[in-house]
Amino acid sequence: MSTDTAIADHGTAQEHEGDHLTFTGAIKIAILLAVITGVETATYFVDFGSVAEPLILILMAVKFLIVIGYFMHLKYDNNMFALLFAIGVVFALAVYGAMLLTFNFF
Amino acid sequence: MSDTEASQLAYGPTEFDDHDHLPTSTGLSHEKLTMWAFLGSECLLFGSLISVYLLLRNKPDELSIDVGPKASDLFDIPFTSVSSFVLLMSSLTMVLAVQAIVAGDDRQTRLWLATTATFGAVFLAGQVYEFTIFYNEGLGFTTNISSSAFFTLTGFHGVHVSLGIIMLASLWFMSHTGRLTQRNAETVEIVGLYWHFVDIVWIVIFGIVYLIP
Amino acid sequence: MAIIEHEPNEVLELDSGDPTTPDRGIGVFLRPTDETGWRSWLFTVDHKKIGIMYGCVAMFWFFVAGVEALLVRIQLWGPDSSVLTASEYNQLFTMHGTTMVFLVVMPLAAAFANYIVPLQIGARDVAFPRMNALALWIFIFGGIFLNLSWFTGGAAECGWFCYAPNSGLAYSPGTGVDYYAFGLQILGVASLIGSANIIVTILNMRAPGMELRHMPIFTWMILVVQFLLLFSLPVITVALILLTLDRSFGANFFNVDQGADPLLWQHLFWIFGHPEVYILILPSFGIVSETLPVFSRKPLFGYTFVVFSGIGIGFMGWGVWAHHMFASGLGPVSVAAFSATTMFIAVPTGVKILNWIATMWGGNIRFELPMMFSISLVSMFTIGGLSGVMHAVAASDTQQTDSYFIVAHFHYVLFGGALMGLFAGMYYWWPKIFGHHLNKRLGKIHFWLVLIGFNAAFGPMHILGLQGQARRQYRYPEEANFDLWNKVSTIGAFVILIAMLVFAYNILKSAKQYRNGEIPQAGADPWDGRTLEWSIPSPTPAHNFDYTPVVTQLDDFWHKKYATNEHGKLVKIADGNDIAQKGDQTPHLPSPSFWPIVMATGFPIAALGVIYNLALSAVGLLIIVGSLYGWALEPATDPNSGHGHDDHPDDAPSDGGDDASASQDEATEGASVV
């Protein structure tokens, strides 16, 4: 936990102040998200064949990361927050992935 | 040992005794840290609901008896795409609400809070409409194992959206009565974190549940 | 301004804001002010009182669960016994297990976590004092709710794991399982709130200079446990919700006719259940890692190793759950994988055992009561750990599953491990909490009776299990020849009862003697301790620390007392009792509040509603939501309490900070209610 610091540098959060998402930045990201959603939805109307499933999963992951990175500003914020959240995500993926595997794969 | 010697060794008064201004060890606020810990915990909650759905969604096909349709037989992707888009845009307006309160613009704050809550409500209304359609087509909560899993997962998400709307409405009301000002920007930010989380859960549900049959 | 729920984050707090919101919030129409008497306990937000209440309530349930165990043992005294019916027997072992896990060991650990952790890190309270009180009251009401089932047609009969589809309406038609499901759900909410609170406390409220690598080991283990709780509770929450939806709302999750797979419940339960095992044992590991160095007069051997093995156990504890399901037909690949991970988790546990032994090695050991219990943990837990490794071997486990060998194993780790450690903690911190020692002679009687009774009760179960006696069966036939060891076991159980009566007598007698002045008040540092809780008077003053300690190293307090002289020899330079703080300052503290206990009543009411009448649920939810708003609008520190605001006339942002934290409480809890 690299964020473990003594009292002296409690101002670390302040250093990131300048990196905040701007108004136009937020709009741009929203447009990007909208476009990705459009592509996702397109897989329903157009036959992508075997590419469809991996494509949807990748786009989903990209959207996920954009929202937590920019809208929830994990990208700019203290790593402690990202760590707390990442533990949850990683545990969820690993544990439930293993559980579903045991049902399908001996 | 004399008292003076003892007092030299003891933990005496320091510059840190003004507890009102004692910085936290990490420099992070208690409240925000709590919210992130809670969201980490929520990942496990939705993870298990999604896994349960994935496990059970095609079970009716494997049975030789007729147990009614699966949820995925009835999906209306264009409709759901629109409501997903509305929820996605509510994340944008939430960001704008946080930016407004950081800038100290109470009017803008209220405007974007209200917009976010409205988008959330539109999404919920869409979900209620979808559930009604499903029910009329013979897919109730108790119809079969796939429908139970589907309604539980999406219903749980819906409850989270509802709670978010209640929080947003409370913030709007607090702002209206002058109890929510620039100083409370972090409160809005924290509610925003919750709101974005609800959104990313839907991003996952939309991808895994709706688009991948 | 609250000393705790303040606004430390400067990111968003700008100076240009308007003057503050009104001093007196609209939610604050009345506020409890008592500092003594029963009201001071009911509405307290003081982490010390909350810790003591956790302990007292847990000891009450310990008595209840002990009586349940004794009834089970009486039934098993001889073959073909008819003291209990099969149904009564099922209810008793179910509730014995559930109570011991959720209402005894977990809250006892929570008691120490609440009382000791803030002291060890040099804090005045936890991060969210009112949330702390809320967690306590939800726990208390949840425990009562769970046990209401005895009076409403019988408790759950499905074992503490309550496997589906046995837990479904078809096989468990009574309300017992509903009480079980909601009881655990309510207790889960309490644990979740408590865990978030303590995580934030430990991460954010350490004394200046106390980096994570300077943190006392008990605090470290509690931190790991709170993370395990935080991430494992949602899993059981979902499992219990599915069960409730099946039972009360006609869902099909565990309906085999609809293609349900009974393994789903088992997976979800044990994904929670195995981290839970470490939630039960790690606090005790933390306690003995404190006591062994103190009573060996040596620093803990390999502090870093102990910390990292604790974290390692926390992580690896997530990858072994299916070893509870080896006999369920998982398939050979899964079984082999989980068998391997299970063997692997013995490594960090073994590291700890070796570190403890090496701590004692060559030490100047004092056989005080905490030390005796600690040593018994090290030895008894090792026995339980060894039989645990046997279970990791899937082929051997298949033979032992559902036999008394398993019962022997987990009682050796939970009684011989967790409870022994908790008793060590009680004797160790008793002078700090209550200001006086427990009687040592009675304590020794207690110790030896526990140790002998425990081994007599659970040791023979190894033999019975290997002979083939099955768990959870209320009778065994005469031809099986199980009598002898069952009789020994039952006698052992009663020896434990006597031991606990001695303990109770010791508590009452010592308290009386202390009140009458027959035994002296313990000094601030009665054990020559190493951590910060010994640098303040015993019993702990209301505000904990006069001055915030500034630490520079691990075991900082000990290094204030000892130094090396010019010959490189360790010498004592000060006595802990002399250099301890005097407890004579009077800083302002968070004010008591009605809302935690009021809100907590909503949970069992809402749960009863689902079982009997949904209108009642609406009432419960209304109570929860209503108190949520009352809570959010109430500042953490009463503006009229005489101090707090007056001494900071220029502190304009104070109420703003309070509002922020209050709304955050609302946000967090509003969501966790579901």
- Please state which of the ranges A12-16, C132-136, C521-525 shows the lowest mean pLDDT: A12-16
| Best to test chain C binding among B7, B31, B153 (most C CBs inside 10 Å) | B31
Q: With helix as H, strand as E and coil as C, how does B59-127 read?
A: HHHHCCCCCCCCHHHCCCHHHHHHHHHHHHHHHHHHHHHHHHHHCCCHHHHHHHHHHHHHHHHHHHHHH
Q: Does C552 reach chain A within 8 Å, measured CB to CB? A: no
Determine how many CB atoms are found less than 10 A away from the CB of residue C466.
14
pLDDT value of residue A13: 40
**Consecutive H or E run containing C562:** strand C562-564
Select from A7, A17, A91 the Cβ nearest to the Cβ of C11: A17
**Band of residue B27 on the pLDDT scale cut at 50, 70, 90:** confident
Nearest CA distance, B30 vs chain C (angstrom): 6
Q: C490 is in which domain, residue-wise?
A: 37-535+581-593
Is the pLDDT at B143 greater than 70? The verdict is: yes
Res C661 pLDDT > 60: no
C-beta of residue B165 within 8 angstroms of C-beta of residue B198:
no
d(CA C16, CA C24) in angstroms, rounded, equals 22
Whether residue A8 lies within 8 A of chain B, CB to CB, comes out as no
**Option in C203, C231, C334 nearest A88 (CB):** C231
Q: Confirm whether C563 is domain-assigned.
A: no
Q: Using a CB-CB distance cutoff of 8 angstroms, which residues of chain B are in contact with residue C672? A: 38
In angstroms, the CA C373 to CA C603 distance is 38
Helix (H) or strand (E) holding C564: strand C562-564
Residue of chain C nearest B100, judged by CA positions: C12
Segment C281-290 shows an average pLDDT of 97
Distances (CA, A) of C328 to A86, C85, C331, C591: 32, 28, 9, 53
Using the beta-carbon criterion (under 8 Å), do C657 and B183 form an inter-chain contact? Answer: yes
* Pair C405, C431: CB distance under 8 Å: no
Third-level CATH fold of B29-211: Four Helix Bundle (Hemerythrin (Met), subunit A) (1.20.120)
Taking residues A16-41, what's their average pLDDT?
A: 85
Q: Which residue has the higher pLDDT, B142 or A20?
A: B142
Return the pLDDT at C557: 93
pLDDT digits (tens, 9 = 90+) for C433-465: 999 999 999 999 999 999 999 999 999 999 999
> Bigger pLDDT: C86 or C648?
C86
A2 Cβ partners below 8 Å, 6+ apart? A79
Query: In terms of CA atoms, which chain A residue is nearest residue C205?
Result: A7
Q: Where are the beta strands (DSSP E) in B149-195?
A: none
CATH of the domain at C479: 1.20.210.10
Best of B29, B167, B175, B188 to mutate (most C CBs within 10 Å, chain C): B29
Tell me how many degrees the CA angle C630-C632-C636 measures, rounded to the nearest 5.
Answer: 100
Touching subunits for chain C (3+ Cβ pairs under 8 A): A, B
Using a CB-CB cut-off of 8 Å, the residues of chain B touching A24 are: none
- Taking CA atoms, A34 is separated from A51, B79, B88, B115, B120, in Å, by 21, 15, 8, 18, 17
Q: How many domains does chain C have?
A: 1
Under the banding of pLDDT at 50, 70 and 90, the label for residue C640 is low
Lowest-pLDDT range of B60-69, B152-161, C429-438: B60-69
Identify the residue among B26, B57, B209 best suited for mutation to test binding to A, counting A beta carbons within 10 A and taking the highest.
B26
CB C310 within 8 A of CB C284: no
- The chain B residue lying nearest A22, using CA atoms, is B99
Cβ count within 10 A of residue A40: 23
Q: Supply the pLDDT for residue C356.
A: 97
Residue C562 β-bridge partners: C572
pLDDT digits (tens, 9 = 90+) for C335-351: 999 999 999 999 999 99
Q: Of C16, C578, C629, which has the smallest distance from its Cβ to B104's Cβ?
A: C16
Q: For chain C, give me the number of helices (H) and strands (E)? A: 21, 2
Chain B residues in contact with A72 (beta carbon < 8 A): 192-193, 196-197
pLDDT band at C660 (very low <50, low <70, confident <90, very high): very low
HEC profile of C369-438 = HHHHHHHHHHHHHHHHHHHHHHHHCHHHHHHHCCEHHHHHHHHHHHHHHHHHHHHHHHHHHHHHHHCCCC
CB count within 10 Å of CB B207 equals: 23
Residue in A with minimal Cα distance to C204: A4
Q: Is the pLDDT of residue C11 over 70?
A: no
Q: Where are the alpha helices (DSSP H) in C76-122?
A: 86-98, 106-120
State residue C586's pLDDT score: 79
Closest CA to C320 of C297, C344, C341: C341
Q: Which of B19, B143, B159, B165 to mutate to test the interface with C (most CBs of C within 10 A)?
A: B19
Chain C residues lying within 8 Å of A98, measured CB to CB: 319
Asked whether residue C600 is domain-assigned, the answer is no
Contacts of B79 in chain A (CB under 8 A): none
Nearest to B70 by CA among B120, B2, B138, B168: B138
Record: contact A16-C330, CB cut-off 8 A: no
Task: At C97, list the tokens.
Answer: 């297990």
Could you tell me the residue ranges of all domains in chain B? Answer: 29-211
Closest CA to C156 of C175, C170, C171, C139: C175
Of C10, C213, C334, the CB nearest to A13: C10
* B58: its two tokens: 């095609």
Residue range C87-126, pLDDT digits in tens: 999 999 999 999 999 999 999 999 999 999 999 999 989 9
Q: Tell whether A23 is within 8 A of chain B (Cβ).
A: yes
> For residue C154, is it within any domain?
yes
Predicted local distance difference test score (pLDDT) of residue A6: 38
Q: Is C519 exposed, middle or buried (0-12, 13-18, 19+ CB in 10 A)?
A: middle
Task: Judge contact between B100 and B88, C-beta under 8 A.
Answer: no
Residue C25 lies in a domain: no
Cβ within 8 Å, pair A85-B40 = yes
User: For C310-331, b where at least 16 C-beta lie within 10 A, e where not — what string?
Assistant: bbbbbbbbbbbbbbbbbeeebe
* pLDDT score of A48: 84
Identify the band that residue B192 occupies on the pLDDT scale cut at 50, 70 and 90.
very high
CB contact under 8 A, A13 and C227: no
pLDDT at C569 over 90: no
Percentages of chain B per state (helix, strand, coil), in multiples of 5: 80, 0, 20
Whether chain B has a CB inside 8 Å of the CB on C234: the answer is yes
In chain B, which residues have their Cβ closer than 8 Å to the Cβ of A5?
Answer: 25-27
- Residues of chain B in contact with residue C578, where contact means CB-CB under 8 angstroms, are 1, 6
What's the rounded mean pLDDT across residues B162-177? 95
Residue in B closest to A3 by C-alpha: B26
Query: Looking at beta carbons, which residues of chain A come within 8 Å of B39?
Result: 84-85, 88
Give the span between the Cα atoms of C80 and C324, in whole angstroms.
Answer: 30
Please say if the pLDDT value at position A5 is more than 50. Answer: no
Nearest CB neighbour to B28, from listed A67, A78, A96: A78
Question: Residues near B65 by Cβ (< 8 Å), separated by ≥ 6?
Answer: none
Q: How far apart are CA C272 and CA C254, in angstroms?
A: 18
User: On the CB side of A88, how many CA atoms lie within 13 Å of its CA?
Assistant: 26
Rounded to a whole number of angstroms, the distance from the CA of A30 to the nearest CA of chain C is 23
Q: How far apart are CA C170 and CA C185, in angstroms?
A: 22
On average, the pLDDT of chain C sits at 89
Quick one: tokens of B70? 């699966």
- The CA distance from C523 to C633, in Å, is 42
Report d(CA C367, CA C345) in Å as an integer.
31
Render pLDDT for A32-75 as a digit per residue (tens, 0 to 9): 999 999 999 998 888 888 888 999 999 999 999 999 999 999 98
Interface test with C, best of A1, A3, A4 (most C CBs within 10 A): A4
Query: Residue B158 is encoded by which pair of tokens?
Result: 């819906």
Q: How far apart are CA B211 and CA B207, in angstroms?
A: 5
pLDDT recorded at residue C324: 94
Inter-residue contact C190 to C233 (CB < 8 Å): no
Q: Give A89 to chain B, closest Cα distance, Å.
A: 6
Contact (Cβ atoms closer than 8 angstroms) between residue C558 and residue C293: no
Note the pLDDT of residue C583.
86
State the average pLDDT over residues C557-584.
Answer: 89
List the single residue in B with minimal CA-CA distance to A29: B92
Report chain B's terminal Cα–Cα distance, integer Å: 79
Cα–Cα distances (Å) from B84 to A30, A67, B199, B206, C443, in that order, read: 13, 14, 9, 7, 65
Contact C205 B174 (CB under 8 A): no
**pLDDT, tens digit (0-9, with 9 covering 90-100), for B93-132:** 999 999 999 999 999 999 999 999 999 999 999 999 999 9
A 24-63 residues inside an 8 A Cβ radius of B: 26-27, 29-30, 33-34, 37, 40-41, 43-44, 52-53, 56-57, 59-60, 63
Residues facing B17 on adjacent strands: none
Name chain B contacts of C237, Cβ cutoff 8 Å: 45
Report the pLDDT averaged over residues C465-486: 94
Closest CA to C657 of B95, B105, B21: B21
CB contact under 8 A, B145 and C651: no
In the prediction, which pLDDT does B6 show?
Answer: 62
According to the model, what pLDDT value does residue C641 have? 60
Q: Stretch C286-304: mean pLDDT, rounded? A: 96
Which of chain C's residues have a Cβ under 8 Å away from the Cβ of B6? 574, 578-579
A26 contact residues in B (CB cutoff 8 A): 92, 95-96, 99
What residues in C contact A14, CB-CB < 8 Å?
10-11
Cβ pair C621, C646 in contact under 8 A: no
List the single range of A90-99, C328-337, C457-466, C481-490 with lowest mean pLDDT: C328-337
Do the Cβ atoms of C312 and C341 come closer than 8 Å? no
What pLDDT is recorded for position C482? 95
Closest-CA distance, A106 to chain B, in angstroms, reads 15
Q: How far is B62 from chain C (nearest CA, A)?
A: 8
Query: SS3 helix, strand, coil % of chain A, rounded to 5?
Result: 80, 0, 20
Q: Which two tokens stand for residue C34?
A: 């008592």
CA-to-CA separations, C196 to B78, B165, C199, in angstroms, rounded: 40, 23, 5
pLDDT mean over C539-566? 91
From C330's Cα to the closest Cα of chain A, the distance in A is: 7
Select from C205, C251, C660 the Cβ nearest to the Cβ of B31.
C660
> Is there a contact between C331 and A5 if contact means CB atoms under 8 Å apart?
no
Quote the CA–CA distance of A12 and A3 in Å, as a whole number.
9
C563: three-class secondary structure by DSSP:
strand
